[in-house]
Amino acid sequence: MTNFKYPRAEKLKKNTEISLLFEKGKWKTSGNLRIIVLKDKPSAPVESTKFAVSVSKKYFKKAVHRNRIKRLLRECYRLNKELFKEAFGEKTAAMLLWISPELPMKFQDVEEQFIKLCQAQHQKKGSGTKIGE
C-alpha cells in the first residue's frame, strides 16, 4: 500500500533549513510551478525528505486564495510522493512555489503541472550517465 500521509517530520519548517535551501538549492520551473531543491551533500546535509509550499503575497492579497493554493500544492505532493522521490531523490529538501498571478481553477491542473515537473527532472536525471558505468 502506498503511503499517502504528509507527517510533521516531512514538513520543512526550520528557518535554518529554509535559508540553506535558498542559498544552495537548485531552481526548476515548469508552467506555473517553481521548485527549489537541495539534495543531500556533505556541505549541506539533509536527513530525510523535507517539503514545503509557498505562495506570493504579491500576487494573492487575500489569505483565503493563498491558503487554497497551498492546500492544492500540498495535496499534489501527498498524492504523488513516490514520483517526487523518484525524480528528486530520497534525502531532499524542497519548496514548491506558485508563480502565476492567476488562481488555479481545478486541482487536476495543478497536479498535471506537478507531474510534468517531476517527469522532466526524472528524464533529465535518467539521461545523465555516471563516470565508471
Q: For domain 12-124, which CATH number applies: 3.40.50.740, 3.40.50.1010, 3.40.33.10, 3.30.230.10?
A: 3.30.230.10
Domain residue extents for the chain: 12-124
What are the pLDDT digits (tens) for 20-61? Answer: 999 999 999 988 999 999 988 877 788 889 999 999 999 999
Predicted confidence at residue 126, as pLDDT, reads 67
DSSP state at residue 49? -
Please determine, for residue 79, whether its predicted confidence score (pLDDT) is greater than 90.
yes
Q: Kindly compute the dihedral angle of the four CA atoms of residues 64, 65, 70, 72, in this order, to the nearest 10 degrees.
A: 110
Burial of residue 105, with CB atoms counted within 10 A of its CB: 0-12 exposed, 13-18 middle, 19 or more buried: exposed
pLDDT per residue over 83-127, tens digit each?
Answer: 999 999 889 999 999 999 999 999 999 999 999 999 988 887 666
CA distance 101 to 50: 26
Mean pLDDT of 1-9: 82
pTM for the complete prediction? 0.87
